[in-house]
């Protein structure tokens, strides 16, 4: 998820929005570069969104389906799911390359321009299905999974408190309840940010599909895009605030160069030029 979010920031925010804005005559507006960048932009957003769904489903299995937890909630399965989602996201967005056309320009290279593909039924279905897959279906899936997870946690906590006798340590800290509390905090931090930050984008899409004029709500549409990209920046901060293991690994990555350089210099054995005394 952190890798997919980093790609969203690099390609969608920096190269796609800030680059052409501040460097309008750079290679970023070249026909081929612009077309390839559109594929990476859409695929990075799709990967980030569907990895959030996969994370929510993983927490749902771990909390609500303990029998499936040893089989599904493993490092190997997480690697397979992340790789599959990334590969499918990039393959599905390859046709976006053909939605742009070159435009002659007095500069050294042709610039790209979006084709009028909405008049063709197949292209219209493809573009509309992409918006349904991201973010409408993930939005509904995350809401449903979170509702089921919270319902299960509340029922399990009530049952566990009922089994614990107040005179036998009922006032002591319960490690199982503490683990559930940490899981639900991380779950709601990530999926809750996704739901809140993607809500304007979903509302704008629904209003556009209802054939409403969005020209007067251009600020709302641009704000929705900004919040959509902000969701990719928030996940790393959430990991750093809630996960001790993530903070520990981040410290190791930052401190690794400072540890490697002294050890490398120490292991460099420079032969001495002063001859030693013989027998």
- On whether residue 265 sits in a domain, the answer given is no
∠ CA 99-101-102, nearest 5°, is 155
What pLDDT is recorded for position 276? 47
Domain harbouring 94, CATH code: 1.20.1070.10
- On whether residue 174 sits in a domain, the answer given is no
- On whether residue 279 sits in a domain, the answer given is no
- Do 43 and 93 form a contact (C-beta atoms < 8 A)? yes
- On whether residue 115 sits in a domain, the answer given is yes
Give the residue among 4, 18, 81 at the shortest CA–CA distance from 46: 4
What pTM value is reported for the model?
A: 0.77
Q: 107 or 34: whose pLDDT is higher?
A: 34
Domain that residue 232 falls in: 2-158+179-253
- Do 48 and 232 form a contact (C-beta atoms < 8 A)? yes
Q: What is the mean pLDDT of residues 150-171?
A: 68
Sign of CA pseudo-dihedral 142, 147, 150, 152: negative
Q: How many domains does the chain have?
A: 1
Query: pLDDT tens, 188-223?
Result: 777 778 888 888 887 777 776 554 555 556 777 788
- On whether residue 261 sits in a domain, the answer given is no
Give the residue among 52, 73, 59, 81 at the shortest CA–CA distance from 191: 52
- On whether residue 64 sits in a domain, the answer given is yes
- On whether residue 114 sits in a domain, the answer given is yes
Query: pLDDT tens, 57-99?
Result: 988 888 888 888 888 888 899 889 999 999 999 999 999 888 8
- On whether residue 15 sits in a domain, the answer given is yes
Query: Best-predicted range by mean pLDDT among 115-119, 127-131, 134-138, 255-259?
Result: 134-138
CA separation for the pair 7, 42 (Å, rounded): 11
Q: How confident is the model at residue 100 (pLDDT cuts 50, 70, 90)?
A: confident
The mean pLDDT of the chain is: 78
């Amino acid at each position: 998820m952190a890798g997919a979010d980093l790609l969203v920031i690099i390609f969608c925010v920096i190269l796609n929005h800030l680059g052409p804005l501040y460097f309008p005559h750079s290679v970023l507006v070249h026909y081929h570069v612009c077309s390839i960048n559109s594929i990476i932009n859409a695929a990075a957003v799709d990967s980030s969104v569907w990895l959030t769904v996969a994370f929510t489903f993983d927490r749902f299995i771990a909390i609500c389906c303990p029998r499936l937890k040893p089989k599904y909630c493993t490092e190997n399965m997480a690697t397979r799911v992340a790789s599959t989602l990334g590969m499918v996201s990039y393959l599905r967005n390859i046709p976006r390359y053909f939605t742009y056309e070159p435009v002659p320009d007095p500069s050294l290279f042709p610039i790209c321009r979006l084709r009028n593909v909405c008049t063709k039924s197949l292209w219209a279905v493809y573009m509309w299905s992409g918006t349904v897959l991201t973010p409408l279906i993930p939005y509904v899936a995350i809401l449903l999974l979170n509702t089921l997870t919270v319902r299960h946690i509340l029922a399990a906590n009530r049952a566990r408190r009922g089994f614990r006798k107040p005179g036998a340590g009922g006032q002591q800290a319960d490690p199982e309840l503490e683990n559930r509390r940490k899981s639900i905090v991380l779950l709601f931090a990530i999926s809750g940010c996704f739901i809140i930050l993607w809500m304007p984008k979903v509302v704008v899409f629904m209003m556009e599909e209802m054939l409403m004029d969005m020209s007067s709500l251009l600020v709302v549409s641009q704000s929705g895009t900004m919040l959509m990209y902000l969701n990719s920046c928030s996940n790393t901060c959430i990991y750093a605030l809630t996960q001790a293991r993530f903070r520990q690994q981040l410290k190791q990555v930052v401190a690794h160069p400072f540890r490697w350089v002294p050890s490398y210099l120490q292991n460099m054995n420079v032969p001495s030029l002063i001859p030693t005394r013989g027998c």
